[in-house]
């Protein structure tokens, strides 16, 4: 491997973060969310490492579920978080022993009218305020009754999804919890509501099943630092300096000369760009870490390279490692400079980035 852009993924950290999530809700089962290739970390590697720790895995679609089953994840339950997209997928749900979400009348009709040879577990989604997937109250009650009377269903779990739980002082989340509790109280079915933010900050949202996602990968859903302290970053994106040059005051750096040198400067080029998944819209000042020192991006990120200020970096040399985020530069800090969230940065790491896995 010549090009040095590498995502180093610490599987033990992911496991520790899952155990931490479970410790916060010891009476709940944890559905480890590994959709979107485990937020860019590699779903197969992550699932195999967590196979004896997670109570279930959550994926977005049937393709992600089948990839896990065919790779050897045979016993751990897998939940299709968006349900099925066409009726033919029901046979695969049955064959591969999957659990599925039902979140609209079409999915409900497909399931109720199907002739399955064995029963499946169904999560029924209530729209408590996310205003995305899920049933409103009247349809939700109707869906529960139809599924209770269906020979295709052996277990019903009621679920909803938070829209603002990452804002710990916003009362809307409590309204969602109250609305959900009210509607499910008399049903006798198990339930699921807490995502990562709910697990950490909304303890009264802990139900039979929790759904830790971003916290598994060591990133807090909250901007406040106190919520990050017990999470361990699981991915370090790094590369190397491939050029070091002196520039004079007034010279522009990179496409469009967005950054104009305010003084004579030493500028380095790093072998990483938006084709590796690093955000093109990173602002000047976005932090990086070189030779045990914080530095900053200057100039616009290009496809394969980005430029950094080496003025205060001790003894910079071509080949020096540059951490773009990880243990020394928090991904949430990078996300703030890029006007995005850590979820997007992780999940957009491209396949040309070499993945290096660390485990015990």
Q: Which residues are known catalytic residues?
A: 35, 255
Nearest Cα to Cα of residue 306 among 290, 330, 326 = 290
Residue 110 CA to residue 125 CA, distance in Å, equals 16
Nearest Cα to Cα of residue 353 among 292, 298, 272, 288 = 272
Asked if 59 and 80 count as a contact pair (C-beta separation under 8 A), the reply is yes
Residue 126 CA to residue 341 CA, distance in Å, equals 26
Contact residues for 348 (Cβ-Cβ < 8 A; gap 6+): 40, 277, 279
Nearest Cα to Cα of residue 62 among 94, 30, 31 = 94
Residue 199 CA to residue 213 CA, distance in Å, equals 10
Residue 18 CA to residue 16 CA, distance in Å, equals 5
Task: Give the single-character DSSP code of 313.
Answer: S
């Amino acid at each position: 491997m010549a090009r040095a852009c590498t995502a180093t993924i610490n599987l033990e950290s992911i496991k520790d973060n899952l155990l931490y999530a479970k410790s916060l809700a010891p009476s709940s089962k944890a559905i480890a969310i590994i959709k979107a290739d485990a937020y860019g970390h590699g779903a197969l590697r992550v699932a195999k490492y967590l196979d004896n720790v997670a109570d279930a895995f959550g994926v977005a679609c049937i393709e992600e579920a089948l990839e896990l089953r065919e790779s050897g994840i045979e016993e751990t339950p897998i939940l299709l978080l968006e349900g099925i997209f066409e009726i033919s997928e029901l046979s695969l749900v049955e064959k591969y022993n999957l659990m599925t979400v039902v979140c609209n009348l079409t999915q409900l009709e497909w399931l109720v009218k199907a002739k399955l040879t064995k029963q499946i577990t169904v999560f029924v989604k209530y729209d408590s305020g996310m205003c995305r997937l899920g049933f409103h109250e009247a349809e939700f009650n109707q869906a529960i009754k139809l599924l209770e009377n269906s020979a295709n269903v052996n277990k019903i779990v009621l679920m909803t999804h938070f829209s603002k739980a990452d804002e710990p002082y916003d009362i809307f989340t409590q309204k969602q919890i109250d609305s959900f509790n009210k509607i499910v109280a008399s049903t006798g079915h198990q339930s699921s509501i807490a995502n990562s933010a709910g697990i950490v900050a909304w303890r009264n949202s802990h139900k039979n099943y929790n759904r830790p996602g971003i916290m598994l990968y060591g990133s807090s859903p909250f901007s406040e630092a106190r919520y990050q302290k017990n999470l361990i970053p699981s991915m370090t994106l790094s590369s190397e300096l491939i050029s070091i040059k002196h520039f004079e005051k007034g010279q522009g750096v990179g496409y469009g000369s967005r950054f104009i040198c305010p003084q004579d400067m030493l500028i380095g080029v790093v072998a990483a760009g938006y084709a590796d998944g690093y955000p093109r819209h990173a602002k000047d000042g976005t932090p990086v870490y070189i030779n045990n020192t914080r530095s900053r991006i200057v100039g616009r990120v290009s496809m394969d390279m980005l430029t950094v200020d080496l003025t205060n970096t001790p003894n910079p040399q071509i080949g020096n490692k540059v951490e773009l985020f990880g243990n020394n530069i928090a991904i949430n800090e990078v996300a703030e400079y890029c006007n995005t969230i850590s979820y997007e940065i992780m999940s957009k790491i491209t396949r040309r980035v070499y993945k290096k896995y660390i485990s015990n």
